[in-house]
């Protein structure tokens, strides 16, 4: 690897962080001021700031004469103001999305090769090497009937499937955040443009159980810096969650209806291009699933287990949708040791389509996820995918978390595509890309390592590096070189002014 421009970009990210950390007086916290349980109290207005600066470095699969080795810088600033007035709370949040030094030649004109890393995606979506925009990220009002377990929210907000509850058990909380949440619906938080929904959602629960419902229309964003407009994509969501065995088990049953009315966009699937271009019928897919998280004390530690599965039906344009996916994972955590080392492993499989000429689409559809949560080197996603993985998580200090993953990736159906992306993000492109597999199932072996370090109460430093050894499916599209590398340096800054003012008066 030869990231010759990396020092310049690291300097820019450091200067940007210093400027925003020193010159701003507000920051973003992803929730409003805590809601009182009696619903009878008012709270002061709170101002919050969230500032993220990240330098990404790509060494994509070789594809001369295009640019495959490059850095670029992403900056995201989110500023919010929130308050509770008796049973009502409200939040308004603006986001500034910026990218710098985007490569202009990191998208191949050969359709099978496409964008050569996320830098190519950002440039293609904005046609600018330094795109920037300001958007309304969230703006809602929420009514609480009897406390935090019963609420109704209306407006623009972020929504994450699988995060309907907040486990008291720290192991369940980590599993929920990292191994269940956002598989199908999320804010695409790794991107700069991100994603919100305009609509309504509500919760009704009584301690050990919760019912969550949501209906929303997706906004533009993700790679497109202008994340203000809506797009013609909507989802409806319903879930029931339940704790059992003294909060050592959490299970959920859910249903999602997805509708994509962007009739002028060519769908991504394994049919021949002329057939796909002629298919202007809407997509409407229903997804019905369950998942379960559990922990069991055993000896000096505890076992954990994760089960997740979903079935899909409906219409994929002119095709009938029949697909599904499941995941099974387990691990053991040595809670008796100070760093609590945690070894985990598992298997994921989603259906693919082996018959491109029939009237059925068997490719599992990932809807609107935060794709990187399950593909930390985001050159693949969960569609037409088989993933055998092992991971280790360690916390050698209260402020430091280390994690390393090893993935053996295959395509489920060799007649289907190698899929990338995380769903619709504007009205011009479909949101998922597909590469031919060359008739092979073997995709790649990926190994990575990450370090998340909380430098101070408000400032965190995150590092990530991964290497992908592409196999025959990758080599079919990138014959000049089928190995790739990806890494980043990230600075996060958070500041809650109301919290600091309250502490100063104590």
Which stretches of 90-237 are DSSP H helices?
118-126, 170-175
Residues 6 or more apart whose Cβ sits within 8 Å of residue 207: 149
Selection from 92, 100, 58 nearest residue 75 by Cα? 100
**Chain-centre distance for alpha carbon 326:** 18
Summarize pLDDT for 210-236 with one digit per residue, the tens.
999 999 999 999 999 999 999 999 999
Q: How far apart are CA 449 and CA 467, in angstroms?
A: 9
Q: Strand 209-219 and strand 230-244: pairing?
A: antiparallel
Mean pLDDT for the chain overall:
90
Selection from 435, 331, 444 nearest residue 387 by Cα? 444
Phi-psi region of 147 (alpha: psi -120 to 50; beta: other; left: phi over 0): left
Region 116-138: mean pLDDT is 95
Q: Are 295 and 169 in contact (CB under 8 A)?
A: yes
**Chain-centre distance for alpha carbon 419:** 16
Got the DSSP string for 396-440? EETTEEEEEEEEEEEES-TTSEEEEE-S--SSSS-SEEEEE-TT-
Q: Which residues pair with 302 in a beta bridge?
A: 297, 333
Give the pLDDT band of residue 7 (cuts 50, 70, 90). very low
Single pTM value for the model = 0.89
Q: Are 269 and 297 in contact (CB under 8 A)?
A: no
Q: Which residues pair with 71 in a beta bridge?
A: 57
Give the pLDDT band of residue 147 (cuts 50, 70, 90). low
Summarize pLDDT for 458-484 with one digit per residue, the tens.
999 999 999 999 999 999 999 999 999
Whole-number pLDDT of residue 23: 36
Selection from 200, 246, 193 nearest residue 219 by Cα? 193
Q: Which residues pair with 401 in a beta bridge?
A: 452
Summarize pLDDT for 298-318 with one digit per residue, the tens.
999 999 999 999 999 999 999
Residues 6 or more apart whose Cβ sits within 8 Å of residue 48: 26, 27, 28, 29, 79, 80, 81, 82, 494, 495, 496, 497, 498
Give strand ranges (E) for 185-248: 197-205, 209-219, 230-244
Task: Please name the helix (run of DSSP H) or strand (run of DSSP E) that holds residue 94, with its range, or none.
Answer: strand 88-100
Q: How far apart are CA 429 and CA 377, in angstroms?
A: 22
Q: How far apart are CA 326 and CA 307, in angstroms?
A: 8
Give the pLDDT band of residue 41 (cuts 50, 70, 90). low
Domains of the chain: 6-504 (2.40.160.100)
Q: Is the pLDDT of residue 417 over 60?
A: yes
Region 28-47: mean pLDDT is 53
On the 0-12 / 13-18 / 19+ scale of CB atoms within 10 A, 278 is exposed
């Amino acid at each position: 690897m030869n990231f010759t421009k990396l020092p310049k970009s690291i300097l820019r990210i450091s200067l940007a962080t210093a400027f925003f950390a020193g010159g701003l007086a507000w920051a973003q916290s992803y929730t409003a001021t805590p809601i009182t349980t009696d619903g009878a109290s008012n709270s002061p207005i709170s101002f919050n700031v969230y500032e993220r600066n990240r330098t990404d470095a790509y060494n994509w699969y070789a594809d001369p004469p295009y640019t495959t080795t490059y850095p670029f810088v992403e900056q995201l600033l989110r500023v919010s103001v929130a308050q509770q007035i008796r049973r009502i709370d409200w939040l308004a949040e603006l986001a500034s999305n910026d990218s710098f030094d985007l490569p202009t030649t990191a998208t191949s004109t050969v359709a099978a090769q496409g964008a050569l890393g996320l830098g190519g995606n950002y440039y293609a979506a904005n046609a600018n090497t330094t795109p920037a925009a300001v958007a309304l990220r969230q703006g809602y009002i929420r009514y609480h009937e009897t406390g935090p377990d019963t609420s109704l929210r209306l407006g623009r907000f972020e929504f994450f499937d699988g995060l309907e509850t907040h486990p008291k058990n720290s192991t369940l909380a980590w599993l929920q955040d990292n191994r269940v949440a956002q598989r199908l619906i999320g804010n695409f938080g790794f991107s700069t443009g991100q994603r919100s929904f305009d609509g309504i959602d509500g919760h009704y629960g009584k301690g050990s159980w919760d019912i969550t419902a949501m209906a929303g229309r997706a906004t533009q964003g993700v790679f497109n810096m202008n994340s203000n407009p809506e797009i013609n994509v909507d989802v409806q969501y319903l879930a029931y969650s339940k704790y059992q065995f003294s909060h050592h088990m959490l299970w959920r049953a859910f249903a999602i209806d997805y509708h994509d009315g962007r009739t002028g966009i060519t769908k991504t699937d394994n049919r021949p291009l002329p057939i796909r271009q002629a298919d202007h019928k809407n997509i409407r897919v229903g997804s019905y699933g369950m998942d379960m998280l559990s922990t069991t004390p055993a000896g000096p530690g505890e076992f954990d287990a994760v089960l997740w599965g979903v079935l899909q039906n409906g219409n994929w344009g002119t095709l009938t949708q029949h697909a599904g996916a499941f995941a099974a994972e387990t691990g053991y955590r040595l809670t008796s040791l100070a760093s609590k080392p945690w070894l985990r492993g598992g298997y994921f499989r989603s259906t693919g389509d082996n018959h491109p000429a029939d009237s059925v689409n068997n490719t599992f559809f990932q809807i609107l996820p935060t794709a990187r949560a399950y593909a930390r080197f985001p050159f693949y996603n969960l569609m037409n995918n088989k993933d055998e993985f092992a991971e280790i998580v360690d916390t050698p200090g209260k402020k430091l978390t280390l994690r390393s993953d090893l993935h053996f990736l295959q395509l489920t159906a060799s007649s289907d595509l190698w899929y990338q992306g995380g769903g619709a993000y504007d009205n011009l492109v479909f949101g998922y890309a597909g590469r031919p597999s060359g008739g092979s199932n073997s995709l790649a072996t990926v190994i990575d390592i990450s370090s998340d370090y909380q430098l101070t109460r408000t400032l965190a430093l995150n590092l990530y590096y991964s290497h992908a050894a592409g196999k025959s499916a990758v080599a079919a599209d990138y014959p000049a070189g089928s190995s790739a590398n990806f890494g980043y340096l990230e600075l996060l800054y958070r500041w809650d002014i109301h919290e600091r003012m309250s502490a100063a008066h104590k």
